Amino acid sequence: MPDSIPSKLSIRDHDRAAVHMTYVYPVVSRRAGGVSVGINLNPNNACNWRCIYCQVPDLKRGAAPAIDLKQLEAELTSLLNDILHGDFLQTRVPEDARRLNDIALSGNGEPTSAKEFPEVIQLIGRVMKRFGLIGKIKLVLITNGSLISREAVQSGLKRMAKLNGEVWYKLDTATREGMARINNTRQSLKKTAEHLTLAAALCPTWIQTCVFAQNGAAPSAQEQQAYLDFLARLLAQGVRLRGVLLYGIARPSLQPEAAQLSALPAAWLEEFAQKLKQIGLTVSISP
Ligand code: SF4
């Protein structure tokens, strides 16, 4: 079970800058007790969604640019080499976090919008094999799931499954109104259910859900029920979900709605987690 969310929520900018790379950056997490190697396929800060809690600076609508696969492979090799055979852990990481936890595709936008997504997974697999990492660490894809109907994305997910991969699938709400308000997408719930079903069939899939108060109000009882019903329906249909990663807004949003958002008390998350457990889901909370 994942013990933290090495997403952009936990990126420390100085780490990204310090390694001077375009696509690859280290995330040191004391809480998770290790280092995550992040891969950012969206150095152009472009995403097809615009979540109101998003922490990407200067976020714009769009897709990932063309990926320089050679450069990505060189950067990944260099950082892993530094972590596994160099002095990165000794010089940059607190003693209690000196291990490599995972490789996470978590960038400044939607990673599956990169045309080269399947080639990127193939490349990561090649590098992991070279370092003897297959089966030893996880490969995580943090995604909003909106492009999973693309064959290229599906082929990437199939490859990920062979690399101890996990999909962390963003689902913050299960109402049309909620998706428009929180994620600024017009994607239907029918499509969301189809995509989630596909993801779970291709690769072990966790739901990642960000919960927060907007203008002082926590998600309404109806919102909560719609979300619980949506997941319960999927489970009843045999969709195999690994569980839910429930997280709050630990860092400020960089979107215009930032001032409207505030963190919910830990007790709220706990109570909501109980409701999820009651429908048979494993829950990991990251306040
Ligand atoms: S899907 Fe992720 S990158 Fe895109 S807007 Fe939402 S939080 Fe930001």
Q: What is the pTM of this model?
A: 0.93
Tell which atom from ligand 1 comes closest to the C-alpha of 170: 1
Tell me which residues of the chain have a pLDDT lower than 70.
Answer: 1-19, 287
Q: Which pLDDT score, from 0 to 100, does residue 286 have?
A: 84
pLDDT at 29 (0 to 100)? 79
Instruction: Compute the distance from residue 109 Cα to the ligand 1 centre, in Å.
Output: 6
Sheet holding 34-39, edge to edge: 24-29, 34-39, 100-105, 138-143, 165-170, 205-210, 241-247, 283-286
Residue nearest to atom 3 of ligand 1 (CA): 109
CA dihedral for 280, 281, 282, 287, sign (positive or negative):
negative
C-alpha distances out from residue 162 to 9, 36, 64, 68, 125, Å: 27, 19, 25, 24, 9
Tokens representing residue 141 in the block: 């894809």
pLDDT at residue 216, rounded to an integer: 96
Ligand 1 mutation target, pool 39, 42, 51, most atoms within 8 A of CB: 51
- Residue in 50, 169, 249 to alter for ligand 1 test, most ligand atoms within 8 A of Cβ: 50
Q: Give the pLDDT confidence score for residue 11 in this predicted structure.
A: 39
Q: What is the pLDDT of residue 13?
A: 43
**Closest C-alpha to ligand 1, atom 6:** 51
Find the 200 Cα to ligand 1 centroid distance in Å.
20
Going by alpha carbons, the residue nearest to atom 2 of ligand 1 is: 109
**Measured from the CB, is residue 208 less than 6 Å from ligand 1?**
no
